[in-house]
Amino acid sequence: MFRCFFLNKKWFLWSVYGTTAVVLINWLRVGVDVELNYWNGEFYDLLQSALVSPNAVSIHDFKDIIIDFFKLTTVYVVISVVVDYFIRHWIFRWRCAMNEYYVSHWSLIRHVEGASQRIQEDTMRFAKLVEDLGISILRNFMTLATFTPLLWEFSKKVKVIPFFGEVNHSMVIVAVVSSFGGMAFLMYVGRKLPGLEYHNQRVEAAYRKELVLGEDDPNKGQPETIQALFSHVRQNYFNMYRAYLMFDSFSSAYGKYSELTVYIVMIPTILQAAITLGVLKKITSSYSKVEDSLRFLIRRWSSCVELMSIYKRLRAFETQIENVAIGQKVTQTELE
């Protein structure tokens, strides 16, 4: 999966320079996101001033800050469109490299069960998930690296939190504890899902193979055999549904109950009127960015499970290719 693209001279431009371009452009987009966060603070401070006393803010002030917003948003949109377009091409080149590697060994592995599905369907799904999930992980990591120092600085304005009193850099600590605590618990709850997803693909493949063989061979695809294979499919799906019921219940509850965490922690600061509305907005926005980045795997756990399942299948397929290739080399050596 990785060697055929990143260690192949043919794909050097896309694998090395392409990956570098993806990282740099996404970093630039996160930088614009930081500027928008500062803009939010200035905008809400302006609103607070305008609502406190009449004519405290002129129309020109509003016009200037709105123009700044359109400038930043335009840059953000252009960067997003360009990087998404480039990523689609970059990911497809990766799929092309995988396809070339597998097809080059087709004569050795055509007898392997599910070989055609691995080459066509799994490489396609792998590419889509890397485009969706892999790039999102990269962006969330960059967001975390950028907004954590901001939240660290803003936390100096939140000196007291409920139950604990004075805590230095309290907002960062709360975000980390809340996110990692919830993530660890939910990963424990959903620990069986990758294995169930992997097993699901195996029973589905066995069921599909029997049906395909039954099209040409009258001795295959008998009703009793098909019913037995489908009973395995049904049982595995029911097991998956029970596992997802537990995981979704805790995940949904955690997501909803944690929405007010930042405001609960800031109750003493808000009641003392120690910060302005703009500062409050910058703190809550930065906290949200950090917490969302830390909780990313929780929100996308189903996609993570699917990607891990596909990785397992492709890795097992590549192991079969390597074993068959080694066996052929040994045979040729013995003949010589």
* Cα–Cα distance, 27 to 33 (Å, whole number): 10
Q: Which domains does the chain have, with CATH numbers?
A: 3-321 (1.20.1560.10)
Q: How far apart are CA 194 and CA 113, in angstroms?
A: 21
Cα 177 to its chain centre, rounded Å, is 21
Measured distance CA(130)–CA(139) in Å, rounded? 13
Put residue 163 in one of left, alpha, beta given phi > 0 → left and psi -120 to 50 → alpha: left
Single-letter amino acid, residue 243: A
296: left (phi over 0), alpha (psi -120 to 50) or beta: alpha
DSSP structure class, residue 10: G
**What pLDDT score was predicted for residue 72?**
94
pLDDT, residue 331, reads 43
Bridge partner residues of 160 (DSSP): 166
In this structure, are residues 79 and 35 in contact, taking their beta carbons and an 8 Å threshold? no
Phi, psi of 128 (to 5 degrees): -65, -40
**Per-residue confidence of the chain (336 residues) as pLDDT tens digits?**
788 888 888 998 998 999 999 999 999 999 999 999 899 889 988 988 888 878 788 889 889 999 999 999 999 999 999 999 999 999 999 989 988 888 888 777 777 666 777 788 888 888 888 888 888 888 888 988 889 888 998 888 888 888 888 888 888 888 888 888 888 888 888 888 878 887 887 888 888 888 878 877 777 778 888 888 889 889 989 998 988 898 888 888 887 888 788 888 888 888 888 888 888 888 888 888 888 888 887 777 778 878 887 888 888 888 878 887 676 543 433 323
3-state SS of 220-272 is CCCHHHHHHHHHHHHHHHHHHHHHHHHHHHHHHHHHHHHHHHHHHHCHHHHHC
Its pTM stands at 0.70
Neighbours of 38 (CB within 10 A): 15
